[in-house]
């Protein structure tokens, strides 16, 4: 008899529900959210698991790797799809959620998501932006309450501008100085992290090929590599744009049928990077068939829509470059096989 399990994971404890192929509950238990505790229950030889499902979350990558390493058929389920199904429950508890997940896994009513590799997760840590900009914005907003306007100022002159504004107000200067020290330290560490990023890109053959695309620099290339992780998980290159939320959302019901703006689902960091790469390409003086295509859209539909369309096409082209092992071609001339 086949068995199915649903795991409702929280920070401290995980609720486990095991059902058989008829839907009958075999066992329910709550254990610590640790791989050893989960394996002690799920590794029982009396159960013949066909699928084990857990919802995507902060601990899902860690627990998924441990269960997959133990050769268990674990599946990570998409969060929004899971919440939409579990919302039908009258009483929301960890126990009921585990039951619902187990039944969804049993009948196949789930949408699996890709769990990034360990290397990709480490690269994402390197690409995470610091809080330096947040500190600057906080200083701007706080000082504005006292009639002190920072105005347009670059990163280099920002600290001098703040000190100039609070020079005649010692009580404010005492409060502002610690934040400036924190900002200074963050900026110094950003330089160190950026040098590390450039070293990784320099030694990565995939990133170097992605950078042959106009507008794509080291940060965009490494972000794309860490986000896509395994290019083979996309059966078609056209699917990449939809996964990054760069395709139009659609609503159709009866006589109503309209297409809205981009869905903005998926990875926000990657979407922002592609948007910036598209802007950089359009501002550049170098011309290519891709820039000419985007400028034609800009003349017909406006620059904003052209940038979004170009960002989506960049995602598709970069995936094709990665899969085929080629480089960006600046002209659309036919190349012999």
Tens digits of residue pLDDT in 153-179: 988 899 999 999 999 999 999 999 999
Q: Which of the given ranges, 53-57, 79-83, 203-207, 257-261, has the highest pLDDT on average?
A: 203-207
Report the distance separating Cα 136 and Cα 168, nearest Å: 20
pLDDT band, very low/low/confident/very high, at 130 (cuts 50, 70, 90): low
Mean residue pLDDT across the chain = 91
Task: Name the band, by pLDDT with cuts 50, 70 and 90, for residue 131.
Answer: low
pTM for the whole structure: 0.83
Predicted confidence at residue 140, as pLDDT, reads 92
- By mean pLDDT, which of 162-166, 215-219, 227-231, 251-255 is the weakest? 251-255
pLDDT tens track for 308-329: 999 999 999 999 999 999 999 9
**Residue 336 confidence (pLDDT):** 47
* Average confidence (pLDDT) over 18-38: 95
Mean pLDDT across 112-122: 87
Q: What is the pLDDT of residue 129?
A: 59
User: Alpha helix locations (H) across 267-325?
Assistant: 268-283, 289-301, 303-324
**For residues 157-191, b (16+ Cβ closer than 10 Å) or e, as one string?**
ebbebbeebbeeeeebeeebeeebeebeeebeeee
């Amino acid at each position: 008899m086949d068995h199915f399990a649903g795991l409702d994971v929280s920070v401290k404890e995980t609720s486990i529900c095991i059902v058989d192929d008829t839907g009958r509950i075999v066992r329910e238990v709550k254990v610590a959210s640790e791989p050893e505790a989960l394996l002690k229950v799920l590794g029982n030889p009396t159960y013949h698991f066909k699928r084990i499902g857990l919802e995507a979350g902060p601990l899902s990558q860690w627990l998924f790797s441990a269960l997959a390493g133990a050769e268990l058929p674990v599946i990570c389920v998409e969060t929004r799809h899971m919440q939409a199904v579990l919302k039908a429950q009258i009483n929301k508890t960890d126990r009921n959620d585990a039951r619902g997940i187990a039944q969804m896994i049993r009948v196949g009513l789930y949408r699996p998501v890709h769990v990034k590799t360990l290397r990709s997760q480490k690269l994402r840590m390197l690409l995470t932006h610091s809080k330096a900009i947040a500190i600057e914005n906080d200083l701007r907003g706080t000082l504005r309450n006292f009639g002190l306007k920072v105005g347009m100022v670059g990163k280099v002159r920002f600290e001098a501008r703040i000190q100039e504004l609070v020079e005649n107000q010692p009580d404010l200067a005492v409060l502002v100085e610690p934040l400036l020290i924190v900002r200074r330290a963050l900026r110094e560490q950003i330089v160190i992290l950026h040098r590390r990023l450039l070293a990784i890109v320099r030694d990565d053959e995939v990133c170097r090929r992605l950078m042959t695309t106009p507008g794509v620099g080291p940060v965009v290339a490494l972000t794309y590599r860490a986000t896509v992780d395994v290019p083979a998980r996309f059966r078609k290159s056209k699917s990449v744009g939809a996964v990054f939320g760069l395709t139009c959302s659609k609503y159709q019901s009866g006589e109503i049928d309209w297409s809205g703006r981009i869905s903005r689902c998926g990875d926000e960091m990657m979407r922002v990077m592609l948007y910036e790469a598209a802007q950089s390409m359009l501002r550049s003086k170098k011309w290519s068939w891709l820039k000419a295509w985007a400028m034609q859209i800009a003349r017909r539909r406006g620059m904003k829509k052209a940038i979004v369309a170009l960002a989506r096409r960049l995602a598709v082209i970069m995936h094709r470059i990665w899969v085929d092992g080629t480089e960006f071609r600046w002209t659309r001339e036919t190349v012999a096989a």
